[in-house]
Structure 1
Amino acid sequence: MEKNKTGTYLKYAIGEIILVVIGILIALQINNWNENRNTHNLSKIYLNNIKKDLITDTITFQSGIKRFENSLVLQGDLFNPVKVNILPVDSLFSAINTAFHSARIYKINNSTYLKLTNSGFVESKFFNEIFIDINNYYTKEYNTWLEYLEWDKENGTTIYQPESFIRLYDIIDFPDFEKQLKSEFQTSIEKEYKVAFREYIKSPNFRNYAWKSHKEMKALLEKMKYQKSVTSELIEKINNELKK
């Protein structure tokens, strides 16, 4: 101040402040850029992992579709009196064991989505639209499919329950019958079992239970086909996003 250099010092101080501010802004920008890059990379990792889960879903649904279609064909044979008369009893027994089953093992794999939601990553600003579609899939579609599985559990017909084979339970010991069917030797009891079994398959009582199960399986098959198509579409959307 004695040498009248106050202005020079003020300019110097202002310059220092400006440099510090610029440095802070650059550091913040670099940090923000690194965070965005890490978030973007993490988003891609989640998308790829979800895609793997969805591919697993399509394999699961395709397996279920094939099994249900084959089961419905076998059930058709059981509804055909001519085939029931022609087919060997062990083939009929095997057909019933194969043709009537539930869909409860065909579940949607949501393991990656659970990790994603637990981390709060559903709100990621990258790939926002596809994450919205993913969220819809694992809420709306997932819950709807669970409702179908629960419906199948509550209403599905177990064909060997006493109410469906009520009269035969007084005649046939089914575990023993199955064991004898696998044996090379025929017994008089087995012959009686075979006659009773074949006649019961042609009876209205059995056909009513079998037809109920047949209609339920057809409904589940159509739903399973729809779920597979929705899953495949979502995989395609993810592929398109990852290519961008």
Structure 2
Amino acid sequence: MIKFFRHIRQNLLMENQTSKYFKYAIGEIILVVIGILIALQINNWNEKRKESKQETTILKSLKNDIQSDLKDLNFEIDFKKKMIIKYANCLDILTDKKEGTKADFFRDFKSILQIGGLTLNVTTFNNLQNNGELKLITNKSLADSIVGYYNTDYQGWETALRDYTRNNFAPYLLEFDYVPPHDIELIEPQLQAFLEQFSENIVDYKKAQQPLEAYKNNYMIINMLRYKSRNILGLLAAYTRQKEYAINLNNSIDDYLKKIND
């Protein structure tokens, strides 16, 4: 093709048809420019198609993370509701709103040092931030919602619950009463298999325990139960908001994926 155009140019020059030569040269330049523009357009189209595939992959990965978060949220919400019921029962016994023995009281009270907590699946989101790939999500409203989902306020409630339990309640309770082995497993479940390796004489020192009346007359324990219950109620509300956010975000991602892939 190049030889063909060169041959035409040479013929025009040899025939001294200068005006036709210049017209031809301009036409050739225009053809070259058009060719370059077409190549650039094809390249841009290929890049956009590549980015669209990346966007789809990213959103599907985020969707999987959010669905996993929903399972964890449902578990934590159910777990915290049970804790509230247990502590309400403890307070009813301690304030004589209902009758109960020490065994009845401790059946619910023995979980008092448990904390639990939610850990969002942030691997995909962190990678997007670190690699600067959040910009691949072209829907700005959806991108903002994703950033908002991973920057919510439930961690503040968890920190308050954890710090109060570890720094205030645990030291006081462990000094106030002897905790028998069957209660230790509920304070720290991970220790159970370890404790089972030891004989009963090593694990249980058979120390005397405080009577139920001592708990009833202990304002510190009553107030701790009240405080922890309020804290868990706040955490439950935060978890519920996070769950609603997760459901809405999951649906938004679904709708957007259908739109861009139709």
Structure 1 residue 154 displacement after superposition: 2.6
Name the residue aligned to 1:98: 111
Cα separation, 2, equivalents of 1:229 and 1:27:
47
Query: Aligned ranges for residues 73-84 of structure 1 at < 5 Å?
Result: 73-81=85-93
Q: How far does the alpha carbon of each residue in 1:167-192 deviate from its partner, in whole angstroms, 9 at most, with x for none?
A: 43xxx3x245759xx9xxxxxx9695
Query: Aligned ranges for residues 152-191 of structure 1 at < 5 Å?
Result: 152-156=161-165, 161-164=170-173, 166-168=175-177, 172=178, 174-175=179-180, 178=183
Percent pairwise identity = 26
Q: Please identify, of 60-69 and 145-154, the stretch whose mean Cα deviation from structure 2 is larger.
A: 145-154
Residue of structure 1 aligned with 2:228, choices 195, 213, 237 = 213
Could you tell me which amino acid in structure 2 is paired with residue 5 of structure 1? Q
Contact (CA 8 Å) 1:72, 1:214: kept in 2 or not? yes
Q: 1:22 to 1:4 in 2, by over 3 A?
A: same
TM-score by length of structure 1 reads 0.79
Name the residue aligned to 2:148: 136
Cα separation, 1, equivalents of 2:113 and 2:166:
8
Cα separation, 1, equivalents of 2:74 and 2:36:
56
Cα separation, 1, equivalents of 2:171 and 2:14:
112
Name the residue aligned to 1:20: 32
Q: 1:114 to 1:176 in 2, by over 3 A?
A: closer
2:252 matches 1:237 = yes
Q: How far does the alpha carbon of each residue in 1:192-225 deviate from its partner, in whole angstroms, 9 at most, with x for none?
A: 53xx343333333322222221111111111111
Name the residue aligned to 2:68: 56
Structure 1 residue 149 displacement after superposition: 2.4
Structure 1 residue 227 displacement after superposition: 1.3
Cα separation, 2, equivalents of 1:125 and 1:67:
35
Residue of structure 2 aligned with 1:32, choices 9, 34, 44 = 44
2:127 matches 1:115 = yes
Q: 1:4 to 1:96 in 2, by over 3 A?
A: same
Structure 1 residue 59 displacement after superposition: 1.4
Q: How far does the alpha carbon of each residue in 1:100-133 deviate from its partner, in whole angstroms, 9 at most, with x for none?
A: 5224x31222211111112212223622321121
Could you tell me which amino acid in structure 1 is paired with residue 128 of structure 2? L
Q: Please identify, of 226-235 and 158-167, the stretch whose mean Cα deviation from structure 2 is larger.
A: 158-167
- Partner of 1:101, secondary structure, is coil
Q: 1:125 to 1:92 in 2, by over 3 A?
A: closer
Residue of structure 2 aligned with 1:148, choices 131, 144, 157 = 157
Could you tell me which amino acid in structure 2 is paired with residue 220 of structure 1? L
2:213 matches 1:199 = yes
Cα separation, 2, equivalents of 1:54 and 1:125:
16
Residue of structure 1 aligned with 2:77, choices 62, 65, 68 = 65
Cα separation, 2, equivalents of 1:175 and 1:28:
76
- Partner of 1:109, secondary structure, is coil
| Aligned length, in residue pairs | 227
Could you tell me which amino acid in structure 2 is paired with residue 223 of structure 1? A
Cα separation, 1, equivalents of 2:80 and 2:17:
93
Cα separation, 2, equivalents of 1:87 and 1:158:
29
TM-score by length of structure 2 reads 0.74
Cα separation, 1, equivalents of 2:23 and 2:132:
48
Could you tell me which amino acid in structure 2 is paired with residue 42 of structure 1? Q
Q: What 5-or-longer segments of structure 2 have no aligned partner? A: 1-12, 185-195, 197-204
Highest Rg: 1 or 2? 2
Give the alignment's Cα RMSD to 1 decimal.
3.1
Q: How far does the alpha carbon of each residue in 1:20-40 deviate from its partner, in whole angstroms, 9 at most, with x for none?
A: 111111110000001111111
